[in-house]
Amino acid sequence: MNLARLAAARADQGSPVRAGLIGAGKFGSMFLAQVPHIAGLEVAAIADLSPDRARAACAATGWDEARIGATAFLEDGRALAARDDVDVVIEATGNPAAGIAHALAAIAAGKHVVMVNVEADVLAGPALAAEAARAGVVISMAYGDQPALVSEMVDWARATGFRVMAAGKGTKYLPAYHQVTPDDVWSHYGMTPEAAQAAGMNPQMFNSFLDGTKSAIEMAAIANACDLAVPEAGLGFPPCGVDDLAHLLRPRALGGVLEGPGMVEVVSSLERDGRPVFRDLRWGVYVVLEAPSDYAAACFRQYGLSTDGSGRFAAMYKPYHLIGLELSVSVLSAALRGEPTGCARAWRGNVAAVAKRDLRAGEMLDGEGGYTVWGKLMPAGAAAGALPIGLAHGVALTRDVPAGTALGMADVALGESEALTWHRKAAAMA
């Protein structure tokens, strides 16, 4: 990829790539831990609602006092985006409305943007990408997170002439997880609430990984970036190990579980009875590809590639992802090559808020990973009029909604906002 060489050359020239980080949580902290070890990359400024917490994060990740002292700490992400000493803005707040606002501020200031904030990307990604293109800057998915890694694998498959049959990731899933709340999330992770609190782990955030919401958000991001299809009934989470990817993740007409070719899907590391799947992909990502010819299929056999029974379908996978430890790849790619590591190109998938329990008129929704709703992946067309999970926070219900029902825009008192405006712009690009 030559990014390390290009970055080192910038270091030798005395002009390192200068990043500005908004949000010094876990993802941001993992990135900060790597920065001192990357020649040609510096962090000029960090914005966080608590600058003291951001300074503490820097110290905890190994920054020395000189590096901390040379970094600007502030509260306002928009102010960070306007700074002259920032080349690339990293948006890592996880708040979709804040993410959209910060991205727009960075684009207006002529800065590249790396969106760790997948929630914002799924709410308005194609519209933000169009805005960035008009301004001549890059808006990119965050390398290290699954959507960017899957986008890379899909691009590799297409660039080498293979047809993409399926793409996605693994996770721990059982159907009952859709109803889990922050009160009982830690038992499913094998932790006590006290241990989780001591580690600084947010129960609502981690619950979004468990209840299916984060998987839906990530698959929507992949579908929109790679122009892949979304299952009509939502994610199926079929139990599947790495040895069975090519067999299971092909169309039903060929003996698989997919509605058709070219779809996103998440595989579960648990059988439906709770037993562990053999050689699961819980922490990894995959792409299933089809040989375009008999000759290519023969090459699969000759070079030991595991295939389905027909010999035409094979899978490539990456067993782990390192999240923020890999984020510098996106920052350097944007600054040194003008290329994103994945970017929303189309409006293929949306994530609708679904009631976790019977909800009553007047109740306030608490968004992703909370007590009231979980996020379900839906095709963009089918989700027209649905309430996106990214807008389902801090809004009151206007009517009763039964458990398991997808909420509509008309079911909540949803005022006009910048996030809603940009969501509408993205949806209009379907």
Q: Provide the CATH number for the domain around residue 364.
A: 3.90.1210.10
**What's the pLDDT score for residue 311?**
96
**What's the pLDDT score for residue 5?**
97
55: domain CATH number? 3.40.50.720
**What's the pLDDT score for residue 321?**
96
**What's the pLDDT score for residue 384?**
86
Query: Is 340 in contact with 374 (CB distance < 8 Å)?
Result: no
201 in any annotated domain: no
In the structure encoding, which two tokens stand for residue 116, read together? 């760790």
**What's the pLDDT score for residue 383?**
81
Q: Which of 305, 337, 369 is a domain's end point?
A: 337
**What's the pLDDT score for residue 417?**
95
**What's the pLDDT score for residue 173?**
97
Q: Which of 294, 312, 337 is a domain's end point?
A: 337
233 in any annotated domain: yes
**What's the pLDDT score for residue 224?**
98
**What's the pLDDT score for residue 430?**
79
Task: Domain count for the chain, please give it.
Answer: 3
Residues of the chain with pLDDT under 70: 1, 200
369 and 275 within one domain: no
Full residue range of the structural domain in which residue 414 is found: 349-427
**What's the pLDDT score for residue 381?**
87
153 and 138 within one domain: no
Q: Which residues of 112-130 are buried (b: 16+ CB within 10 A; e: fewer)?
A: bbbbbbbbbbbbbbbbbbb
Q: Which residues of 209-229 are buried (b: 16+ CB within 10 A; e: fewer)?
A: bbbbbbbbbbbbbbbbbbebb
- Report pLDDT digits (tens) over 23-34: 999 999 999 999
206 in any annotated domain: no
Task: Give the chain's end-to-end CA distance (angstroms, integer).
Answer: 33
